[in-house]
Amino acid sequence: MMQMLEAGGMPVLSDGVRTPDADNPRGYLEFEPVKRIGQDASWVAQAAGKAVKVVYALLRDLPRGYQYRVIMMRRDVREVVASQRAMLERRGRAGADVSDARMAEIFEEEMRSILGWLSRQLGFEVLEVNYRDCLHRVTAVAGSVNGFLGGRLDESRMAAAVDPSLCRQRGLLN
């Protein structure tokens, strides 16, 4: 989604600290200070009008007084867990000592919780986007996202930014 937004003409707040690798050959488009938002949210003012990647667990730490448009990427939890396990294996790191089934349950509980919280917050508009739709209905997703963000992005460039071959866990659900 971040690559779609950038290709469509939306400025992205990114620092290049996390460089492309085997898990994400196009790069991460992340901004390191986001990870410390609970301690320091001073960067939020410079993010106005830009796309910023924020993991769902940190959304509650965003300061009040701003208008946020959240594009919540929804991906099949089995793919998320498989992707995380594969990434940890490639890096030679051990994952949590929790079964994939339990990890999926935890993730689903957290998503329900954050979506419920978001629905009760002033200053937050949310568009849920299905990850698979980004791969298989990319033109429709580009249109939906563009409309949600005010209609000034180049939808054809957004759609062209998607490379379905980078989805390594897709075999789980086919």
Q: What is the pLDDT of residue 69?
A: 97
Domain containing 69: what range? 2-172
User: Over the stretch 26-58, which tens digit does the pLDDT of each residue have?
Assistant: 888 999 999 999 999 999 999 999 999 999 999
Question: pTM for the full model?
Answer: 0.85
- Whole-number Å distance between alpha carbons of 116 and 112: 6
Q: How many domains does the chain have?
A: 1
Q: What is the pLDDT of residue 19?
A: 87
Burial of 171 (0-12, 13-18, 19+ CB in 10 A): exposed
Paired residues of 131 in beta bridges = none
Neighbour tally for 2: CB within 10 Å:
20
Task: Give the contacts of 102 (CB within 8 A, at least 6 positions apart).
Answer: none
Q: What is the pLDDT of residue 90?
A: 65
Largest CA distance in the chain: 46
For 165, phi and psi rounded to 5 degrees? -65, -15
Q: What is the pLDDT of residue 18?
A: 87
Neighbour tally for 12: CB within 10 Å:
17
Q: What is the pLDDT along the chain (174 residues), one digit of tens a residue?
A: 999 999 999 999 999 898 888 777 888 899 999 999 999 999 999 999 999 999 999 999 999 999 999 999 998 888 877 777 776 666 666 656 678 888 888 889 999 999 999 999 999 999 999 999 999 999 999 999 999 999 999 999 999 999 887 765 544 444
- Whole-number Å distance between alpha carbons of 80 and 126: 21
